[in-house]
Structure 1
Amino acid sequence: MNALRQALPRAVALIVLAASLTACGFHLRGSDGRFNMPFQSIYLAFPETSPLGTELKRNLRGGDTRVVAEADQAQARFDVLSESRGKAILSLNSQGRVREYLLTYTLVFRVRDAAGAELLGPTEISLKRSITFNETELLAKESEEALLYRDMQTDLVQQILRRLAAIKPV
């Protein structure tokens, strides 16, 4: 009973502290997925079937920026210079079989305004993830690899959004 009397004030103080921190409205800039873009419309030069382009469009449409279908209607043009995925052997076991792979996802892009002037010069974003490999778990490792590529794609979209939001209009 005595221990309960000592613990009760601590628990109440902890609850009050947690409530005051959540009530203050503090959050990291961009942590809610919304970014203030320096332009109202953008054209994305991705193929229609590009999963990266689709995710970027979805994230941009969540904010105040319109994604337009024609380049001449946009205030900004996002040009994809190159996009590549790679898989390289990272390490081998004592029998000479693959133990780890290194997965890479690289995007090089630039952003121009409606007049063709560069707002953001050629920029490369390269992401890397390592994955262990076991030939007895082939199907599980293939799905893990696909999951890692999807995770890298989401990370890539967030990095692109941060770079777009940081553009200073001329």
Structure 2
Amino acid sequence: MHRTTLALLSSVRTPQQFARGLACAALCLLLAACGFHLKGATPLPFTTIYTNIAENSEFGAALRRAIVASSPDTRFVAEPAQAEARLTQLANSQSLRELSLDAQGRVEEYELNLEFIFQLTDAQGHIVLPPTTLHSTREIPYDDSVVQAKQGEIGLVFKEMQQSLVDRIVRMLASPDVTSAYRQAATLPIDESAIPAAESRNTPAPAPQAPAPWGAPRVIPDAGSH
């Protein structure tokens, strides 16, 4: 580090370059002193994973990209019987709730809600991560005089909420608790509703219990408090 700093300072030719070089050198020394390092990959304890979330859905594609980026050695497989772990979507919904109305009864503010429920099991059906519910809620002002613009804004916020859920799922899968549970899965209870691996090859993947996210949200006409 010190040799690099000296080389950086010796390579400058003008006072301005010297000042910039000195500032960069000071920053390098500060980061080194703080133990700074770039965030690397976080390998998952399994190398193959199956999910019933549609690959061609925006949510499914985002989740796959995030998991592979976090754990490059992990790959998705098309059949449950080929997977060491199974991420099962149990429920998935999004909705708009009328949060406030003006004197004419027009919506002034919406509450956006996403809910995703999933679990993680190993190849034998042991429950590594029990059914887990993730919520995301945002509030957004609304103006019916610019409907198209506001609809675009709502769609953008839903996508941001979607990415937030994806990030939370990946962090949970990579957590020490899940890693430890997976390695000790033989001691965990079995999901009785799981399809046996021997029968799964000829059985279609279960369909989501709710419409895929980021389509037309369900509107809840409720202006009361929450």
What 5-or-longer segments of structure 2 have no aligned partner? 1-18, 185-226
Give the aligned residue type for 2:88.
D
TM-score norm. by structure 1 comes to: 0.83
- Structure 2 matches for 1:32-51, cutoff 5 A? 34-51=41-58
Asked which structure has the greater CA Rg, the reply is 2
- Stretches of structure 1 lacking an aligned partner (at least 5 in a row): 1-9
- Give the paired residue count: 159
Match of 1:53 in 2: 60
Give the corresponding residue for 2:136. Answer: 127
2:161 to 142, 152, 160: 152
Q: Which residue of 1 aligns with 2:77?
A: 68
Q: Which structure shows the bigger proportion of residues in strand conformation?
A: 1
Q: Give the corresponding residue for 2:88.
A: 79
CA RMSD in angstroms comes to 2.3
Look up the match of 2:16: none
1:26 to 37, 43, 47: 37
Quote the Cα distance in structure 2 between the aligned partners of 1:43 and 1:81.
14
- How far apart, CA to CA, are the structure 2 residues paired with 1:145 and 1:35? 33
Cα offset for 1:27?
4.4
What is the CA distance between 1:91 and its match in structure 2?
Answer: 1.4
Can you list the C-alpha shifts for 1:5-63, whole angstroms capped at 9, x where unaligned?
xxxxx9876543323345654346xxx6x332121111011124321111111122222
- Offset from partner CA, 1:67-108 (integer Å, 9 cap, x none): 111111111000000000110011122333211100111100
**Which deviates further from its counterpart, 137-146 or 90-99?**
90-99
> Do 1:60 and 1:67's aligned partners in 2 also have CA atoms closer than 8 Å?
no
- Greater CA drift, 131-140 or 48-57: 48-57
The residue number in structure 2 matching 1:4 is none
CA distance in structure 2 between the partners assigned to 1:21 and 1:70 by the alignment: 50
Secondary structure at 1:18's aligned position in 2? helix
Q: TM-score, normalised by structure 2?
A: 0.64
SS in 2 for 1:131: strand
Quote the offset at 1:137 in angstroms.
1.1
Q: Which amino acid aligns with 2:93?
A: S
CA distance in 2, matches of 1:94, 1:39: 57
Q: Which has the higher contact order (CA 8 A, sep 6+)?
A: 2
Answer whether contact 1:90 1:101 (CA < 8 A) is retained: yes
